[in-house]
Every structure is written in structure tokens, then in C-alpha cells.
Amino acid sequence: MKKSIVLICGFLIGVFSIKAQRTTSVEVKHNTYGKAIVESNYNKNDILIQKLTYTTDTVFTKEYKEIGEITYYNEKGNLQAKGNFYSKKDDENSIFNTGRKKNGKWSFYNDEEKLTGTVNYINDIKNGVYIFYHKNGKVANTGTYVQGQNTGTENVFFNNSQLHKSVEYKEGSIYNILSFMDKEGNKINHGTLKDGNGTLQNYDLVTGKLINTYTLEDGMLNIIDTKVIKTAKGEVTEKKYKNNNGSTKKIVRTLNNKLEGLQESYNYKGLLEETINYSKGIKNGKHTKFNDDGTLFYEYTYVNEKKTGAYKFTPEGFKDKYYVLDEGFYDENQKFTGKFTRYLQDKKEVVNLGKMNTEKIVIESGTYKNHIKTGIWKTFDESGKLIKETNFSNNKNDLYVKKEYFKDKKTLRSIVEYDNQKDEGLKKVYYENGQLKFSATYKNEELDGEYKEYYDNGQLKEVGQRERGRKIGNWKDYNEEGKIEHDNTYSIDYCCFPSKRIAYFYRYDGTLSSIIIQSDKKKNPLNENESYYGTTINKNYSENKILRELKSKKKANYKSYGVLDGLYQLYYTSGKLNIEGYYKNDEKDGIWIYNDFEGKLKRKVTYVLGDEIGPIESYEYHPKSKNKSKASIGINSKDKSTRTITRYYDSGKIEEVGNYISLPKSNLSGRDGLWKSYYENGSLKEERFYEIGKKVGTWKQFNEKGKVIKRTKHK
């Protein structure tokens, strides 16, 4: 089922991003929509790729802007998908980018125009029964979505219609197997899966043969090869996590439930990305990380979680065509000591070989003692020619200003304050056009203080503070046009990644598209090198720079999906608030407010985990005067809903008032108790009595002077 869903989602992204080369639009009479518009879109080969039939007639659309149906075709003109949609007034939030949202049953087809699946939608979210089919037309999967998540029981069939398995889902993840059979209908062992954890056999639904075995951890599918290795320390459990194509994702080794030995991670290309050595859950030995091209990023040696001994590291700030590598040593206090060398080599050569060779060139060399430069330090150009030699004495009070120039010997490349042992103070580096490239402050040869980096056009690129080399506090990144791209906050707890991250996204015309705010950063307790943000806030903006939607999400753990939790807001294109409320674990919870186009309150509802329970208010307004025309105020419970309904004249005076009751369990609802209506001058016009919609008692009508003019008795 997971595989089918991924394929369908991928298809949707493809068809909904089609750009038409030619569009036609005609009005027709439609059996369902009456007066309708048929819009046809064609590709560059003049083949129909999209057809919409819709109406804007309010007789059919009711509260919507438009309703209709849409059909998609591939580039060859073959049917790919079709279904119904609607759009709300001033609503731009959907994959159509026009406010159109999928609603009701949608059907999807393969390139041969054979039905591959049907999915039900409510408000652009998968809700209800889904069915996917084999190529021979037999049912392959059927189940139920609730708010976009698999819920309840999913049945999976072989292509001969034999039930293969019934799967219990919980919060969108596989939880238990209820039944499991082979292609002939014989009961077989599914594995050890129970309550979201364990193994699950994966069979080919066409051939009926076993493909592989998944291992589930908290309901998440993994392909894991597990074996036990006997060592002098004891039995080490090795788990090899694989991708669907068989390539390795990561290898985790544990002893007594603690990380032990070499831990390995691989990138999306299947190349080794990172290795870390552990002993009894503590980092001991080499920690190595590689770039996407396979070259070394860094290699440190740890002893009881501390960097000790030889290290290698690739510094920043060099031309892309070069690969630069630092080699040195740490003492037992994690301070630089002994010989230091910086090498340079053509990056293509290093990538082809996988490492540096004898062609590498030394561009800097010297010696550290207790994290401080000492003795003679030499600097070489890209050809290996000596360009500078500095003597670092033991006298810390000998202060100098160091200047370097480009090859023309005139254009300043950098200016650095330093003492005889280390860079100390302000450092500035320039582009060849004379523009400042970056400005930073050093303390004990580590970046410490304000850091600024610039584009060659003089525009600020990055600004922030460093403390002992680490980023700390607020850091901002800008694009070349001066628009902010990132606004991050770093804490001492995370050495390399922000504890809070704000990212800004822009359209091609430069207008703000969205802002994503991530906070509450947490570490994965099962792997210290993995972390996640517990809270994410998405802000989407319309093309007129007005906030369109705000969504808050929370993530329970590293492997779980984010669910709606926290503040939600939706705005009209005018900037006025449309909807505001709070979610809790993907359900509406607390007070929700719904406003009309002018910002006037339409509804105020109290939810308890998705159910309308508690106080509720709703209002309507006269179209011309904008005065209140109707007010409904009451309270909801699981067994009963009561309202006091008041209608108003355009002048604001009460026209009618009474109670309304609804009893969901007995399917009864209607007016209840005494209802009164009034003349516009305020005098009583009529008294009526009801019992849950049934007319009862004696009804009275009055003239404008208060005299009874008619009585009517009801049983």
C-alpha cells in the first residue's frame, strides 16, 4: 500500500504542474451544473492535457465560488485522472494554485487508461474509502483515510483476488496484522510484528513470492538485515537498514542496547556518508564524514567523547575548483598541538581518486602549542610558491597588522590584527574588485565576536556572532537582492545546527511566498547525530504580500510525521482574518473564530478534539447596512445542542427571538419553548410555543398597540 500511495502522489504533482500552451473556454448547458464553462488546455503539440467543467451560478455553488469537475491527460492525450473540485471565495490554498480543492471521489489511470485507483477527498484532504487496482483490474488494496492518514483496517489482495493480508493502522502507521495468507489462501506466518514493532514478510502481489522482510520500528517500515556477531565483549547486534532498491541506508551496531563499534550512514546515492566508532555507548575512535562527491569532509579521533590525536578537516572560503584539507593534532584537552599542514589539490583529481595523492600542494604549515601558533609559519600560493613567512615568538605583547595583496600587488586582499602567536582582533578579506568579502574578529585564533560576509556587489550576505569558533545567538542570511533568507538562532547545546530556524521563500518576481519557523529542537535518543524540530510554523503569503495562512505543526519523535497542533489562521486576500483557532494532535480544539469578508464575526465555536462541544455563536448581517440580521448563541454537548436565536430588523431592533434544540441520538431537532416576534417599534407582535419543532399551546397575535387580535390553539 505504501508503494501505491507514493506513486499516486508523484503522479498528482506531475499533472497539476502542467503548463498549457493554448487554452479555450466556452459556455455550455450542463445536466448537473446548468449554465457551465468548459475550459480546455493544450500542450505545445496541441494535445488536450486538461479539461475543466465548472459553474459559478450561486444556485448550484451555494457558499462556494465555483464547483465542477476536472480531467487530466498525459502528454500523449491519454486519460490520467478525474474528479470533482470546489473553490471558496478568496481561498487560494490548494495544489491547483487557484483556490480549487479536490472534493469527493477521484479516479486515477495508467498510461493505458486503465483504472489504477480511487481516492475520496474532503476539502483537498484524503478522507474516506480508497481502492487501488492491479493491472488485470482486480482489487489490490482497499482501506480508509481519516484526515489524510490510513486508519483502521486495510485489506491487501493478490492479483487473483485472494486476500493476502488485513493490516491494522494506528495514526497512519502499521500497527498489527489481523490476517495473513498466501496466494492459495493458506494461512502463513507474517513475522513478529506486534503493536507497531517487529518483522513483516513482504510478498509480490502478482507472483506470490516472498520479496523481502521489513522490520517495523514504531510503525515505520524498514528493510533491516539483522545478525548477531560474537565478539570478545559479547554478542553484538548488527542492523543493516536498506532502501527499497536494496542499497544500504545505515548500519547500527549495539551491545546490551548501547551503541558499540562502527556506526555507518549512507547518502541518497548509496555512498558512505558518515562513520562513528563507539564503545559502551560512548564515542571512542574515529568519527569520519564525507561530502556528497565522496571526498572527506572531516575525520576526528575521540577518546571518551573528547577530540584527541590526529584530525583532518576541509575548511571553507576557497574556490570551488580546489579541494583543501587541514591536518593536525589535538591534545588531551582538545587543543591544537604539534604540526599543522594545509593542503590544496584540483578537486576533479581528488574526486576521481577518492582522496588526495602526491600532486597535493602545501599552502600553509606551522606548529601549535596549547592551541597557539608558535615558531615559523609559512604560507604558499596555489602553485606552491612561498609568499609569506611569519615568526610567532613567545611574546604575546608584540602586536602587528598583517596585510596581503592580490597579484597586482596593489589591490588589498586581507588585513589582519595579530600578535606573535596567533590571529587576534579584526580580520578583513576583500574581493578583487575592492569590495569587502568578510569582516570578523578573532580571539586566541578562533572566530569570536561579530562576523559579517558580503557579496561582491557589496550586499550583506551573512551576519552573526561567534564564540570560541562556534556560531552563537542570532544569525541572518540574505540573497544578493538584500532579502532575508534565513534567521537562525544557535545555542551552546548544538554545535553546528540552529536550535531555532526561520527560512524565507520568494517567488520569481521577488515577492515573499512563505516563511517556515522551526523550533523546539530535540535529539533522537537512539542516535545522537540525528535531531528534529518539535514545532514547525508555516506562514504562506499571497502575491499582494498579505499573510494568507498560518499553520502550526508538532512532531512527537524523530520518526513520526508532523501533525497540526497549535495556532491556525486563514486570511482573505484583503488581509482580514477569515478563520482562527487551535489544533491539538490534528484535531480542532478550543475556541475557533470564523469571520466574513469584512472581518465581522460569523461563527465562534468551541471544539474538544474535533467535536463541537461547549459554547457556540453564529451571526448573519444585512447586506446593505451591515447591521446584524441574526444571532444564534448556545451550547453543544454530545447528547444535546441548544441555541437562542435572535433575528433583527435592519435598524438593529429585535424582530424575533426563541430557542432551538437538537438531539442527535434521537434524530430530533427544531424550535423549542416560547418564541416571540416584534414590530419594528418594539411592541410584541406574536407569541408561539413549540416542543422540539412541534407546534403546541395557544399562539397569540397582537396589533401594534399590544391588543390580542388572534388566538390559535395547537395540540
pLDDT for 83-108, tens place per residue? Answer: 999 887 555 444 444 578 899 999 99
Distance CA 421, CA 391 (A): 8
Beta bridge partners of 672: 659
- Taking 50 as the threshold, does the pLDDT of residue 10 lie above it? no
Angle ∠(371,372,378) on CA atoms, nearest 5: 120
Distance CA 555, CA 561 (A): 6
CA 119, distance to chain mean position in Å, is 23
Name every residue whose Cβ is closer than 8 Å to that of residue 308 and which is 6 or more positions away in sequence: 301, 302, 330, 331, 332, 334
Closest listed residue to residue 500, CA positions, set 492, 511, 491: 491
480-485: list long-range contacts, CB under 8 Å, 24+ apart: 480/455, 481/510, 483/510, 483/512
- Taking 90 as the threshold, does the pLDDT of residue 358 lie above it? no
What mean pLDDT do residues 578-604 have? 93
Give me the pLDDT at residue 283, please: 94
Give me the pLDDT at residue 287, please: 95
User: What are the DSSP calls for 30-41, one per residue?
Assistant: ETTTEEEEEEEE
**Cβ neighbours of 707 (radius 10 Å):** 8
Give me the pLDDT at residue 92, please: 44
Closest listed residue to residue 116, CA positions, set 78, 151, 84, 154: 78
Q: Is the distance from CB of 528 to CB of 522 less than 8 angstroms?
A: no
pLDDT for 251-284, tens place per residue? Answer: 999 999 899 999 999 988 888 999 999 999 999 9
Give me the pLDDT at residue 404, please: 67
Tell me how long the chain is.
Answer: 715
C-alpha distance from residue 62 to each of 20, 67, 86, 491 (Å): 30, 9, 11, 53
pLDDT band at 452 (very low <50, low <70, confident <90, very high): very high
Cα Rg of the chain, angstroms: 35
Give me the pLDDT at residue 221, please: 80
Name every residue whose Cβ is closer than 8 Å to that of residue 686 and which is 6 or more positions away in sequence: 676, 677, 699, 700, 701, 702
**Cβ neighbours of 557 (radius 10 Å):** 12
Give me the pLDDT at residue 410, please: 61
- Taking 50 as the threshold, does the pLDDT of residue 603 lie above it? yes
Kindly report which listed range (334-343, 356-365, 381-390, 624-633) carries the lowest average pLDDT score: 381-390
| 367 vs 470 pLDDT, higher one | 367
What mean pLDDT do residues 360-370 have? 92
| 167 vs 21 pLDDT, higher one | 167
Q: Is the distance from CB of 188 to CB of 165 less than 8 angstroms?
A: no
Kindly report which listed range (466-480, 513-527, 598-612) carries the lowest average pLDDT score: 513-527
- Taking 80 as the threshold, does the pLDDT of residue 453 lie above it? yes
Give me the pLDDT at residue 293, please: 86
pLDDT for 650-668, tens place per residue? Answer: 999 999 999 999 998 888 8
What mean pLDDT do residues 37-46 have? 90
Q: Is the distance from CB of 282 to CB of 304 less than 8 angstroms?
A: yes
Name every residue whose Cβ is closer than 8 Å to that of residue 617 and which is 6 or more positions away in sequence: 601, 603, 604, 605, 631, 632, 633
Let me know if 284 is exposed, middle or buried by CB neighbors in 10 A (0-12, 13-18, 19+). Answer: buried
| pLDDT > 90 in the chain, percent | 51
315-319: list long-range contacts, CB under 8 Å, 24+ apart: 315/342, 317/429, 318/344
Give me the pLDDT at residue 548, please: 92
What mean pLDDT do residues 463-470 have? 88
- Taking 50 as the threshold, does the pLDDT of residue 629 lie above it? yes
What mean pLDDT do residues 484-499 have? 80
Give me the pLDDT at residue 242, please: 85
pLDDT for 685-713, tens place per residue? Answer: 999 999 998 999 999 999 998 999 999 99
- Taking 70 as the threshold, does the pLDDT of residue 443 lie above it? yes
Q: Is the distance from CB of 174 to CB of 196 less than 8 angstroms?
A: yes
- Taking 50 as the threshold, does the pLDDT of residue 29 lie above it? yes
Distance CA 679, CA 659 (A): 19
| pLDDT > 70 in the chain, percent | 90
C-alpha distance from residue 386 to each of 194, 361, 363, 383, 390 (Å): 67, 11, 8, 9, 11
Give me the pLDDT at residue 138, please: 94
Distance CA 189, CA 582 (A): 44
Give the position of cell 514493532: 197
Q: What are phi and psi of 161, to 5 degrees?
A: 75, 0
- DSSP H helical ranges for 17-164: 58-61
Give me the pLDDT at residue 405, please: 65
Distance CA 438, CA 586 (A): 46
Give me the pLDDT at residue 639, please: 87
Average pLDDT, the chain: 86
Q: Is the distance from CB of 416 to CB of 438 less than 8 angstroms?
A: no
| 159 vs 389 pLDDT, higher one | 159
Question: What count of Cα atoms within 13 Å lies in the side-chain half-sphere of residue 235?
Answer: 4
Distance CA 469, CA 317 (A): 15
Give me the pLDDT at residue 11, please: 37
Question: Which of 172-186, 313-327, 548-562 shows the highest mean pLDDT?
Answer: 172-186
Kindly report which listed range (326-330, 339-343, 383-387) carries the lowest average pLDDT score: 383-387
Distance CA 650, CA 480 (A): 56
| 156 vs 3 pLDDT, higher one | 156
Give me the pLDDT at residue 96, please: 43
First to last CA, the chain: 60
Three-class DSSP category at 324? strand
| 404 vs 590 pLDDT, higher one | 590
C-alpha distance from residue 638 to each of 126, 309, 494, 663 (Å): 26, 68, 47, 9
Distance CA 490, CA 468 (A): 13
Amino acid at 639: D
Distance CA 293, CA 296 (A): 9
- Taking 50 as the threshold, does the pLDDT of residue 135 lie above it? yes
Name every residue whose Cβ is closer than 8 Å to that of residue 590 and which is 6 or more positions away in sequence: 581, 582, 584, 606, 607
pLDDT band at 144 (very low <50, low <70, confident <90, very high): very high
Let me know if 320 is exposed, middle or buried by CB neighbors in 10 A (0-12, 13-18, 19+). Answer: exposed
pLDDT for 512-565, tens place per residue? Answer: 999 999 988 887 777 766 778 889 999 999 888 899 999 999 988 877 778 899
Give me the pLDDT at residue 136, please: 94
Angle ∠(501,502,504) on CA atoms, nearest 5: 145
| 184 vs 226 pLDDT, higher one | 184
C-alpha cell at 663: 438531539
Q: What are phi and psi of 415, to 5 degrees?
A: -135, 130
| 561 vs 451 pLDDT, higher one | 451
pLDDT for 108-127, tens place per residue? Answer: 999 999 999 999 999 889 99
Beta bridge partners of 180: 165
pLDDT for 50-70, tens place per residue? Answer: 999 998 887 777 777 888 999
pLDDT band at 16 (very low <50, low <70, confident <90, very high): very low
Give me the pLDDT at residue 9, please: 39
pLDDT band at 203 (very low <50, low <70, confident <90, very high): very high
- Taking 60 as the threshold, does the pLDDT of residue 421 lie above it? no
Q: Is the distance from CB of 154 to CB of 161 less than 8 angstroms?
A: no
> DSSP secondary-structure letter at 78?
-
C-alpha distance from residue 308 to each of 262, 283, 305, 336, 340 (Å): 18, 12, 9, 9, 15
Closest listed residue to residue 486, CA positions, set 523, 450, 454, 517: 517
Angle ∠(566,569,570) on CA atoms, nearest 5: 150
**Cβ neighbours of 54 (radius 10 Å):** 24
- What is the signed CA dihedral for 214, 220, 226, 232, rounded to 10 degrees? -170
**Cβ neighbours of 397 (radius 10 Å):** 7
